[in-house]
Structure 1
Amino acid sequence: MSKNDMDTFLNQQAEKLKNLEAIPQKLDGLESYPLSASQCLYIHNFQTKSISFQKGVSEFLGYSQDEFNSQLVNSFFHPQDKAIVSRLIQASVSYAIENKFSQDAHLSLTYRIRKKNGEYIKILRQSKVFEADKDGHLVSNFSLLTDISYMDTSNCVEWNFDANYLDQAAFKRYVGHQYENFFSARQFEVIKGITEGLNSKEIADLLFISRHTVDTHRKNILKKARCKNSVELISFCKKNGLI
């Protein structure tokens, strides 16, 4: 699946989740929520830092109810995806907690997670506000995990976050803040050159370093950002508020 196709898919799924009226607003109503064999759901309470409800987890991922806790949910990412996914989740949750978002606020993420048997699968995580306090701030969210390994074999992490009255520019700056120290100062200089359309030799001349050093930086930058080429890297940087 190409990056454009994945963006389209995420937007479609986000719209479905945004318009989904079937999510019960009480925990006992979730018992009857329909799931396929390749899905599970849970409620993450950010005040108590606990998983207050889960369904289909043991069947889908193999974890027992006690094993599938807040700590696991925040750590069972693929090592190569962890740095990016952790930042995106932290940004969206923190932003939602600090701002008043209604039930329409939703996050869609694709990344790899580890099942109990050690197997990594690519999943689509769709999260919505489940409970807010009297002031409208996020208390807990609903997350639906779906195995999409059959349709997405890439290692790219993709995301979509939206809500009514969301200032996308402000949110991207918020996400960008989460990436402090993700790239080194020198890597940011190389990225700046790439976004300006410079080739490796031109970047090397500008920074007074060798072309080989620039090529090494480019390779490491692409690997860290989970991108295949400069076009994807520029898209990644724009989407994540880095440029």
Structure 2
Amino acid sequence: MEKINTQKWDNLVKAQKSQSKIDNEIKTPEQIHSYFFIFDCYNNTILFTNSSFETVTGYEPNELSLDLLLKIIHPDDLKYFFECEESFLEFTNKLSFNEHFKYTHSYSYRIKTKNESYIRIFQECQALEVNESGHLTKTLVNHKKTEYSEKPDTRDFKIYDKSQNSYIDAENRYNLTKRELEILNYIKNGLNSQQISETLNLSKNTILTHRKNILNKSNSSSFIELIKKLSYVH
């Protein structure tokens, strides 16, 4: 049985296009717009960079280090880069073991390619490994080349909650109370005032008052407008 299973697996491997000489003769570098690398947060090193890095930036994969990345970031974007990383670090330091895998964070900035031209990349980062103490140790970082612009229209730093399928306001910039944040989360999940009232064991009038206060604090005319605002975390 073991031999049969091994043969089946070998057949699957050989069926991959990556194993085909004909398919590997087809080169389409113009269609490659992204690459990824693995970052060791504990040792502050880049462990692996995939080959697409060279196609997008001109640098060889083994050249990518933290020093090179900081060197090629546009000088005008460095402050924003550190602000975003600091914001996410503050957020992740409060997470428990399994919570790390619920979130991704993303933003964009400009980097200089080996031919001295600038491109804008969209960076998305997610947890890859957490140690036994529940602290983030390795992350998977994806860079995707996007349409170039001198500066983004808005600060585009976002934290995405994969379990809720929505972005979060990590810094609570509208100064909502703990109860208001709880009610807002129920609204984002599609519950109406009566359902929230029953879930929290509060009167419907109390829920309606909280809803009104949330809109007033956020200067929003509706919760649709507020949720759109919360797609961007500043």
Taking structure 1 as the reference length, what is the TM-score of the superposition?
0.51
Give the alignment of 1:68-107 within 5 angstroms. 68-100=64-96, 101-107=99-105
- RCO comparison, higher one (Cα < 8 Å, 6+): 1
Give the alignment of 1:2-21 within 5 angstroms. none
What is residue 56 of structure 2 aligned with on the other side?
60
Change (3 A) 1:106 1:59: same
Q: CA deviation at 1:57?
A: 1.3
Q: CA deviation at 1:44?
A: 0.7
Q: Distance in 2 between matches of 1:118 and 1:98?
A: 39
Q: Distance in 1 between matches of 2:94 and 2:37?
A: 22
What is residue 42 of structure 1 aligned with on the other side?
37
Change (3 A) 1:51 1:60: same
Q: CA deviation at 1:160?
A: 0.8
Q: Distance in 1 between matches of 2:41 and 2:59?
A: 21
Aligned Cα RMSD in Å?
3.3
| Structure 1 spans left out of the alignment, 5+ residues | 1-30, 175-234
Give the alignment of 1:1-243 within 5 angstroms. 37-55=32-50, 56-100=52-96, 101-149=99-147, 153-156=149-152, 157-163=155-161, 168=168, 171-172=170-171, 239-240=233-234
Change (3 A) 1:53 1:98: farther
Percent of residue pairs identical: 16
Q: Distance in 1 between matches of 2:103 and 2:233?
A: 18
Q: Distance in 1 between matches of 2:92 and 2:157?
A: 16
Number of corresponding residues? 144
In the alignment, is the contact (CA less than 8 A) between 2:168 and 2:233 conserved in 1? no
Taking structure 2 as the reference length, what is the TM-score of the superposition?
0.52
Structure with larger Rg: 2
Q: CA deviation at 1:173?
A: 6.6
Q: CA deviation at 1:97?
A: 3.8
State the SS of the aligned residue for 1:117: coil
Q: CA deviation at 1:154?
A: 5.0
| Structure 2 spans left out of the alignment, 5+ residues | 1-17, 19-28, 174-228
Q: Distance in 1 between matches of 2:45 and 2:60?
A: 15
Deviations 1:21-74 (A, max 9, x none): xxxxxxxxxx9xxx9511110011111111111102122212223420122233
Q: Distance in 2 between matches of 1:129 and 1:239?
A: 19
